[in-house]
Structure formats: C-alpha cells, structure tokens
C-alpha cells in the first residue's frame, strides 16, 4: 500500500537532460569500483533507479557532475543497506567504515582512505570531485552535515544490533529521523551541483536553519511512508508508521493516516517559512547577487522535496512484493577489503 501514497506538492521541478548519458557511465563505475559484486546485486541496485533520483534532485548539474552525483548516491544507499539485523556482529565494522566516511571531508584533497573497502575508496574519489572549487565555508558545512548524518546512522545500527530499535517514542523518533534522513548534506550538495553558494549569513539565519530542518522532516516522513513495506519486510522498526502504531497504539491504517497528516503539517510549515525569505533578505540587506543565490538555495530544497518524491513513487527500492536476497539486507558485502 504505502508506496502509492501521493502528496500534493506545489513545486514543479525540472529533470536533468543528462540522465541517460550519466546513467550509462555510472553503471560502469559501480562495477569498476566493486560497489556491486554479483549479477543479483546489480539487478537489485538497478531496480532502485538512483540515477533518476539524482537527475531530479540535482537537475542543473553538468553531465560530468551528474555522473559523480549518481556515484555518490550509490555508495550512500548501498552503505545504508550493509547492516543486516540477523548479523549484529557487523555493527563494529559498519561503525569503522562510517567513521572513515566522516573523516574523509576533513582530510586534504587527494588523501587516501585509511580504512579501505569499496565504500570508502568510492567516497574518497567522489569527495575529491564534489569538493572541487567549493569554499572552505561550504566544505566545513558539508563535512558537519554529512558527519551528523553518519553519526545518526551509527546510532541506528547500534540500536538495531542491541535489539532495541523499536524503543523510541514519537518525540525521540522524530528528532532522530531528522538526523538519519541525510537531507542537510544533500541540500548542501545542491550548491555544488549548480555552481553557487548560499551566502554564509543566510545559512546562519534561524529562518534558513528551520527551513532545512522542516525539509528534512518532510522528506524523512514521506520516505517512511513510501518505504514502509520494505522496512517491515526487513524488520526495521525505525519508521514513522511503525512508531505511531506502537507508541500511540494506533491501528496500522490509522497510523498511516496520522503519518500522512504529520508530513503535510511539516510541508505546510516549510512553505510558510519559504514565503518569509524576501523579508530575511531585506533584514540582512543583501544585494542582488546574494538574493539570487538565496533563491537558488531555496530551489535546491524544492528540488530535493519534489525530486525525491517523484522518484520514490516509482523506485523499485520500495516495491512491496519482493523476493530474493535484498529482502533481508544487502546483496553484496561492501565492507570487506
């Protein structure tokens, strides 16, 4: 059921012209980098259609950058699947790799990873390209956004490994979800994809901070709704519908409805704040160029909310009826050397 749930989003966002060009190069790359190691892993990965997600969330990227953005998506999503609840002993290795991923953007460009596996080698290569030409301020912001996301992912793995994934109450879960969804760094990457930077004082303004958080909530909740079947299949208790069912004692149908209502409430609050952006620009006495970059920053958020949504409706990642090794965890082990 939940992958069919539709939302009424007031954004009309473009799709990159480079989708097919970049997809072909990207699919070669994941084999070359050892990110897929079997035909079954490749078929499962291809069914997710991450290239479409990248082409929708970063529609203005150049052809060469689009390949790298797809490459980045692949390693992030594939890493996300490396934990398998039936193998709690993998938690320490996942944490080791996550810390390496956190540290990479803090190293000088061109450094080699210290913890070596397909995921870390791929990320070091992607980061060299992704950080190229960006300011220290942007690199600092991206590194912290990315690091906070990976730290939250480690917490999630730890909870699952200890068998207590389903113990967060609704407030704890929504706070947690904002960190695990990984939207802050995804929006940051929007600047790189279009070759601009949001002015530092805007990024530091409470309005922009709150807009980013609300975008993360909206996308995280939508994702929970669309991936509900996949996560139930995988025994993953970190899903808004499951938390509402358990913590608020709601029947499944009512829990799904409440999740839908909560998602729309976050979206409405986001849209309300978005309408206050011109006042913020006045308050900060921004010039024309700075206002233009703020507008592009807002569009980067819209591209993510809408692009992720459009992709999730059709991605094979969230298909309800599924068989095979991907039902439980990842198909290929990507943490071994």
Instruction: Compare residues 50 and 102 and give the one whose CB is closer to a copy of itself.
Output: 102
CA distance 186 to 277: 21
Segment 55-84, which members bind a copy of itself (CB under 8 A)? none
**Of the candidate residues 135, 167, 268, 279, the single one contacting a copy of itself (CB under 8 A):** 135
Among residues 154 and 242, whose Cβ is nearest to a copy of itself?
A: 154
Find the shortest distance in angstroms from Cβ 68 to a copy of itself.
Answer: 22
Measured from the CB of residue 301, what is the shortest distance to a copy of itself in angstroms? 17
CB of 99 to a copy of itself, least distance (A): 4
Buried residues in 132-150 as b, exposed as e (16+ CB within 10 A): eebeeebbebbbbbbbbbb
Q: Does 285 bind a copy of itself (CB under 8 A)?
A: yes
Q: How many amino acids of this chain bind a copy of itself (CB under 8 A)?
A: 31
Contact call for residue 137 and a copy of itself (CB under 8 A): yes
H or E segment and range at residue 82: none
Give CA torsion, residues 73, 107, 113, 47, to 10 deg: 0
- Token pair of 256, please? 């799904």
Q: Is 114 in the site for a copy of itself (CB under 8 A)?
A: yes
Q: Which is nearer to a copy of itself, 23 or 141 (by Cβ)? A: 141
Contact assessment for residue 201 and residue 216, using Cβ atoms and an 8 Å cutoff = no
Strand, helix or coil at 169?
coil
Q: Which two tokens stand for residue 83?
A: 């934990």
Residue 154 interacting with a copy of itself (CB under 8 A): yes
User: Does residue 144 bind a copy of itself (CB under 8 A)?
Assistant: yes
Site for a copy of itself contains 95 (CB under 8 A): yes
| C-alpha distances in Å from residue 199, one per residue of 106, 186, 276, 294, 334 | 22, 17, 17, 7, 38
Please choose, out of 22-30, 64-72, 197-205, 235-243, the segment that lies near a copy of itself by the rule CB under 8 A.
197-205
Nearest of 81, 73, 79, 80 to residue 29 by alpha carbon: 73
Task: Rule CB under 8 A: choose which of 128, 158, 269, 333 binds a copy of itself.
Answer: 158
Give the whole-angstrom CA distance, residue 311 versus residue 304.
10
Q: Does 276 bind a copy of itself (CB under 8 A)?
A: no
DSSP 8-state code for residue 80: H
- Report yes or no: 1 and 230 within 8 Å, Cβ to Cβ: no
Rounded CA separation 270/277 (Å): 11
Residues 177, 224: contact at Cβ < 8 Å?
Answer: yes
Candidates 126-134, 203-211, 262-270, 295-303 — which segment interacts with a copy of itself by CB under 8 A?
Answer: 203-211
Nearer to a copy of itself, 6 or 287 (CB): 287
Cβ burial of 283 (10 Å; 0-12, 13-18, 19+) is: exposed
- According to CB under 8 A, which one of 1, 24, 109, 200 is a site residue for a copy of itself? 200
199 touches a copy of itself by CB under 8 A: yes
Output 17 or 175, the one with its CB closest to a copy of itself. Answer: 175
Residues of span 206-225 touching a copy of itself by CB under 8 A:
209
The minimum distance between CB 96 and a copy of itself, in angstroms, equals 9
Token look-up 């009826």 returns 321
Binding site for a copy of itself (CB under 8 A): 95, 99, 102-103, 106-108, 114, 135-137, 139-141, 143-145, 147-148, 151, 154, 158, 175, 179, 199-201, 203-204, 209, 285
């Amino acid at each position: 059921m939940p992958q069919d749930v539709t939302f009424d989003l007031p954004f009309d966002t473009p799709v990159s012209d480079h989708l097919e060009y970049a997809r072909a190069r990207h699919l070669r790359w994941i084999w070359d980098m050892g990110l897929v190691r079997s035909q079954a892993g490749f078929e499962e990965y291809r069914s997710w259609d991450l290239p479409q997600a990248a082409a929708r969330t970063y529609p203005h990227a150049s052809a060469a950058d689009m390949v790298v953005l797809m490459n980045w998506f692949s390693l992030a999503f594939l890493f996300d699947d490396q934990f398998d609840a039936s193998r709690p002993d993998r938690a320490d290795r996942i944490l080791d790799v996550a810390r390496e991923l956190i540290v990479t953007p803090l190293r000088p460009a061109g450094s080699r990873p210290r913890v070596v596996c397909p995921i870390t080698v791929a990320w070091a290569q992607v980061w060299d390209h992704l950080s190229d030409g960006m300011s220290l301020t942007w690199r600092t912001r991206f590194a912290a956004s990315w690091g906070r996301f990976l730290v939250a992912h480690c917490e999630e793995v730890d909870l699952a490994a200890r068998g207590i994934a389903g113990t967060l109450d609704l407030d704890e879960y929504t706070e947690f979800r904002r960190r695990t969804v990984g939207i802050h760094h995804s929006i940051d990457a929007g600047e790189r994809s279009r070759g601009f930077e949001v002015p530092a004082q805007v990024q530091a303004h409470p309005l922009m901070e709150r807009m980013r958080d609300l975008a993360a909530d909206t996308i995280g909740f939508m994702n929970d709704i669309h991936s509900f079947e996949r996560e139930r299949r995988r025994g993953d208790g970190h899903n808004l519908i499951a938390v509402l069912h358990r913590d608020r004692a709601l029947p499944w149908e009512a829990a799904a409805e409440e999740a839908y209502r909560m998602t729309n409430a976050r979206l409405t609050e986001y849209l309300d704040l978005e309408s206050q952006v011109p006042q913020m620009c006045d308050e900060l006495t921004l010039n024309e160029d700075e206002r233009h970059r703020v507008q592009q920053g807002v569009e980067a958020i819209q591209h993510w909310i809408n692009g992720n949504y459009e992709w999730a409706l059709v991605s094979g990642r969230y298909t309800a009826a599924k068989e095979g090794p991907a039902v439980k965890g990842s198909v290929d082990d990507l943490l071994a050397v």
